[in-house]
Amino acid sequence: MPLFMDVHHKVDGLTAEAVAGAHQRDLEVQSKYGVNYRQYWFDENSGKVFCLVEAPDADTATRVHREAHGLEADELVPVQEGH
């Protein structure tokens, strides 16, 4: 399945707890769309978030974020994974 890195440039008021809650919502919503939000990294100071996600296509990945918590990524980059 295609892999994407999404980037949120600046989520206002980001905390570890808030991002964990949003990710949990992604996990709840994603299965009906065949999406897998695998992992994420974030910076509380800058509000930056990176999500690594497997999805049939970019639009479907975005749809999960939108339905789960409404915070859509600013960028969604199709990526290959290095080993």
Site for a second copy contains 27 (CB under 8 A): no
Q: How far is the CB of 35 from a second copy (least distance, A)?
A: 16
| DSSP label at residue 9 | S
Q: Which stretch binds a second copy (CB under 8 A): 34-42, 53-61, 62-70?
A: 34-42
Residue 75 φ then ψ, to 5°: -135, 150
> What SS3 state is found at 34?
coil
Site for a second copy contains 32 (CB under 8 A): no
| Angstrom distance (rounded) from CA 79 to CA 12 | 26
Site for a second copy contains 21 (CB under 8 A): no
